[in-house]
Amino acid sequence: MQKKYIVSLHEQERQTLHEVIRKLKGSNQKVRRAYILLKADTQGPAWTDKRIAEACCCRTKTVENLRQRFVLQGFEQTLNSKQRDGPPVSKLLDGQQEAEMIALRLGSPPTGYGHWTLRLLARKLVELEVVESISHETVRQTLKKTA
């Protein structure tokens, strides 16, 4: 079957890949991607996807996906992998809300309690209308981050 995405490297790109492999420069995945791109190069060894997958201990679909990413997104994007634009989940509390939570935590607990619990803090933040709703886990992560 005819390959849809063909890897054709320039000399400079080939040198960069050889350097990454020789010096083991970067993450394990980066070295593997460099090796796959070199073996898939039409002006180089031009191995089949199956042979590359066996040599790299990966699936043929991984090789196909890497070749597709190279053609569609370019050399740098393929070698270094895509960096996230932001975190996978946006922050639930802004700086003002975090400050109010910390101030509440540092104050004395309500009567009848010996200390602040995470669930008690979460309930009090909702009660004081600092936030509309919040889980005790968010309180824990926020306090751990700022501690």
146 lies in some domain: no
**Which structural domain, as residue segments, surrounds residue 125?**
95-139
pLDDT in tens, 98-126: 999 999 999 999 999 999 999 999 999 99
Query: What's the total number of domains in the chain?
Result: 2
87 lies in some domain: no
Residue 29 shares a structural domain with residue 67: yes
User: Is 0.85 surpassed by the pTM of this model?
Assistant: no
111 lies in some domain: yes
Residue 38 shares a structural domain with residue 75: yes
Distance CA 146, CA 143 (A): 5
